[in-house]
Amino acid sequence: MAGESQTLEFKSSFDKACIETLVAFANTQGGTVLVGITDAGLAQGVTLGKETLNQWLVQIKSSTSPSIIPDLKTYQVDGKTIVAIDIPEFPVKPVSTKGRYYQRVASTNQALAAGQISDLYLQSLQISWDAYPASIGVEQLSIEKIERFIQQVNASGRFALETTTPLQTLEKLSYIKEGRPTWAAMLLFAEQPVRHHIHIGRFKTPEMIIDDRQLTDTLFELIEQAMKFIVSHISVAFQFDGSVQRKERFAYPLAAIREALLNAIVHRDYRDGSDIQIKIFDDQISIFSPGGFYGGLTVADISADNYRSSLRNKLIAEGFYLVNAIEKYGSGFIRIRKALQDYPDLKFSIEEKFGGVMVTFRQTGGVTGGVTGGVTGGVNSPESLLNLLQQQPGLNTAQLEQLTQKPRRTLERWLKRLKDAELIEFRGAAKTGGFFLLTTKPKQ
């Protein structure tokens, strides 16, 4: 007999653990409990009286809320009586037993936290948190941002918005309900952005930060600000294929980074006050988004590329879809893996941890932070300046300015950051000396 799974559980006897499993099945995708089967999958059998099955049914109904009514059937296996208790996925979730809620994950029953219980309820009603009206008026929305959104939607060709007032347009798209902006409208168009931050930094080590920002803005703007920061802190190589113009190749595929960032912003749990966190190291970039996978998805589902997407934030996702920022729901990770095909030395991983989802792009073929194919224009961050000094120690500010074609003020700012982080030092006389990497470990 096949082992226990997402939809199958073995029980040697009927008890409260059976009811907990039935609740977990009802809250997920349904399943069957086989009573009279040991954990090893061997038929042990159960003894049934005339009213035993009715008593089990009454106990299941009275112990669950809302009451679930499974189908009970008996079978003979090797001369022993086995009871199959079948329960379909319940249409209105969540179902509880004795005030506790469970969901089926692989072959185990997992107790649900308060946020997961709320998610199940909203999902079963096919509504999302971001569709609820906020407790403020429409005067808190930016007409300029709404008009820019309307222009982008019409330019994308995915939807034609008629020429009406900006607020009337939002009302037609359900971003305004009962005369009040929804939470999605506040996150996308507020004059004063709701304080959900992106905390982003460039790290030399987990303790040593070269550059650090906290970004606070409405969601469309956050994407651009975060991407601008990331691009300024990853190295770029220049390739020449015989044509007049050189081609830039960043150490990471920008399309994949942008897609991961979009996923973090569109699908995060906005009821969680934590920040999206982006950390850029010499050899990896990680993006953490608060809130685990929604709708029962697992890391295994995401990795298989054949999952069914469930949207935690339907109106936010709709907004990004209308402006052509995302292709279709549930295809983000597929596009990331496609973009990585030209980067065989990059390893991409997905983890569900710390109450959220962490994605990591990691260099496996050695750090590619150096600038190759020429220096001019390739030094675009303190990190790449550090790499240049590693390759050509002893350069002074005037020489760096000539090599990189960067403004002296920019170079001086980057050099100060590197010196403050105790990564470089100036050696020699003011006119003839230059910058060198520190060989001693920085102070803790």
pLDDT at 244 over 50: no
Please give the backbone phi and psi of residue 302, each rounded to the nearest 5 degrees, phi first.
Answer: -60, -40
393 against 154, higher pLDDT: 154
Please tell me what DSSP assigns to residue 307. P
For residue 415, what pLDDT is reported?
Answer: 92
Paired strand residues for 284: 362
Whether 213 and 200 have beta carbons less than 8 Å apart is answered as: yes
Of 55-64, 232-241, 354-363, 411-420, minimum mean pLDDT range: 232-241
Helical (H) or strand (E) element with 416: helix 408-420
pLDDT at 428 over 60: yes
Structure tokens at 370: 């150096």
For residue 1, what pLDDT is reported?
Answer: 65
Structure tokens at 103: 């969901």
CB count within 10 Å of CB 372 equals 13
Closest CA to 421 of 406, 437, 409: 437
Whether 172 and 202 have beta carbons less than 8 Å apart is answered as: no
> What confidence tier does 377 reach under pLDDT thresholds 50, 70, 90?
very low
For residue 378, what pLDDT is reported?
Answer: 60
3-class SS at 302? helix
Give the contacts of 166 (CB within 8 A, at least 6 positions apart).
143, 146, 147, 150
Helical (H) or strand (E) element with 64: strand 64-65
Question: 8-126 sits in which CATH class?
Answer: alpha beta
In this prediction, what percent of the chain has a pLDDT beyond 90? 52
Query: What's the rounded Cα separation, in Å, for the pair 79 and 47?
Result: 12
Helical (H) or strand (E) element with 114: helix 114-124
Query: What's the rounded Cα separation, in Å, for the pair 43 and 41?
Result: 7
pLDDT digits (tens, 9 = 90+) for 74-91: 999 999 999 999 999 998
Of 47-56, 96-105, 295-304, 309-318, minimum mean pLDDT range: 295-304
For residue 439, what pLDDT is reported?
Answer: 58
Domain-wise residue ranges, the chain: 8-126, 130-189, 198-363, 382-437
pLDDT digits (tens, 9 = 90+) for 191-233: 998 878 899 999 988 888 888 899 999 999 999 999 999 988 8
Query: What's the rounded Cα separation, in Å, for the pair 172 and 166?
Result: 10
Whether 295 and 310 have beta carbons less than 8 Å apart is answered as: yes
Question: Mean pLDDT across the stretch 340-350?
Answer: 92
pLDDT at 126 over 80: no
The CATH number of 198-363 is: 3.30.565.60
Entry pTM: 0.65
Query: What's the rounded Cα separation, in Å, for the pair 319 and 287?
Result: 22
Please tell me what DSSP assigns to residue 390. H
Q: Helices 332-339 and 254-267: crossing angle, nearest 10°?
A: 160
Query: What's the rounded Cα separation, in Å, for the pair 135 and 182?
Result: 9
Question: 382-437 sits in which CATH class?
Answer: mainly alpha
For residue 194, what pLDDT is reported?
Answer: 80
373 against 155, higher pLDDT: 155
First to last CA, the chain: 59
Query: What's the rounded Cα separation, in Å, for the pair 421 and 437?
Result: 11
Most trustworthy range by pLDDT among 32-46, 308-322, 388-402: 32-46
For residue 328, what pLDDT is reported?
Answer: 61
